[in-house]
Amino acid sequence: MYRKTVLDNGIRVVTESLPYFPTASLGVWWKTGSRDENEENNGISHFIEHMLFKGTRRRSAHDIAREIDAVGGILNAFTGKEYTCLYARVLRQDLDLALDVLADMCKHSAFRDSDIQREKHVVVQEIKMIEDSPEEWIFDLFTADCYRGDPLGLPVLGVEESVQRLTRDQLVEHYRTHHSPSNMIITCVGRIDHDTLVKKVDTLFRGLVAGGDNAPVLKKPQTFPGVYVYEKDLEHVYLCLATDGVSQTDARRYALYVLNAVVGGSMSSHLFQEIREKRGLVYNIFSYVNCYNDAGDFGIATSGSPESMEEVIALIRDEMSTLKKQGITPGELAFSKEHIKGNFFISLEGSEARMDRLAKNEIYFDRYVPVKETLKQIDGIHAPQVDEMSRLVFGDAAGMALAVLGKVDKSTIEKLWKS
């Protein structure tokens, strides 16, 4: 079902053939994102993603959208910290059309000055939209302080000033050097034939040439614990707590996934049940895991009325202290492993999620990770491994970072956190 071919120009073509799927998901991935930026050009990867939709030598922006819409397909893209993706999902008989459109966008995007100026306004509106959504904005604010001085701390969208500074020459040069064939992975999942797809990719992408050695030299980022308060006139107070986790290639990440399920990764988790269900202090509370190439973090996020935040923070601290001292029960371990496996299997029902998984395996491991191998890793987790992760991520409040956004008093929050 899985096959991989590396073309002469360095493009990796990775496929998973699923004869029973009526659709095909096709993605063009680049191993580049906001982590390959600096404060001067912050947001350039995301801006390039936008410009790929603005027209080519033979297709207008309307043509690009209409050709995929005409067959009921989906065409979209996204940018992350360490990768960028342009993808389409279509019925299997429309795969050739999707491949031709994506290849045209990758090879012949015009980067017209008029489109660039217009799109700057669009991206600035997107940035402002995030700033008007405190449940999203707090993560950008928090990451900027927690990873300050490192590209991981830069927002994926950039900031208004850096976006407005971008020039056509910068965009074209960044695209040439960071989106070259040696940095490109094409993934496809569905009712497809690998050899046939490879021949078509080779023909359509043949004109792309390498832009030089663009592999970034990664330096593990330093994190800065502390209390960060962002005062804003809001009805709710938004809270985000995070601490160092593990990288995407660290085998301990599976134990962290189990801990996450216990702490706040589901509706039956400790924090959701204690703070939302039993006490009704917040509408939502959750924990999360971020894993990067060489670093990671584990966090907890929630929001609520200003008068409830003191109790919420105290309850979160109590939960961390209890897990660090007592660990998880055998029942919680078994539950969490089944929860993770269930979510994993459900995700495999969609060609888009499978396409995403193929690409990330290639990005982080340079190989295909069989489903059986993932299940074996999950089943192999034992309570002592999870308890070790509890001690790692909940080790010391002084090593954690707490961000609070809303109508709050900084001295009060700092006093509460240090008590």
Taking alpha carbons only, the member of 257, 249, 248 closest to residue 341 is 257
Alpha-carbon gap, residue 269 to 258, rounded angstroms: 11
For residues 170-209, one letter each, b for 16 or more C-beta atoms within 10 angstroms of the residue's C-beta and e for the rest, the string is ebeebbebbbbbbbbbbbbbbbbebeebbebbeebbeebe
Q: What is the pLDDT of residue 214?
A: 55
pLDDT tens readout for residues 63-101: 999 999 999 999 999 999 999 999 999 999 999 999 999
Q: What is the pLDDT of residue 207?
A: 79
Q: With 0.85 as the threshold, say if the pTM is over it.
A: yes
Per-residue DSSP letter, 247: -
pLDDT tens readout for residues 161-181: 999 999 999 999 999 999 999
Which residues form the catalytic set? Answer: 49
**Which fold is adopted by the domain 2-204?**
Cytochrome Bc1 Complex; Chain A, domain 1 (3.30.830)
Residue 49 and residue 391 in contact, taking contact as beta carbons nearer than 8 Å: no
Mean pLDDT for 277-291 is: 96
The residues of the chain that CATH labels 3.30.830.10 are 2-204, 226-418
Neighbours of 311 (CB within 10 A): 13
pLDDT tens readout for residues 213-253: 555 567 788 889 999 999 999 999 999 999 999 999 999 99
CATH classification code of 226-418: 3.30.830.10
Neighbours of 307 (CB within 10 A): 9
What band does 211 get if pLDDT is binned at 50, 70 and 90? low
Alpha-carbon gap, residue 125 to 49, rounded angstroms: 16
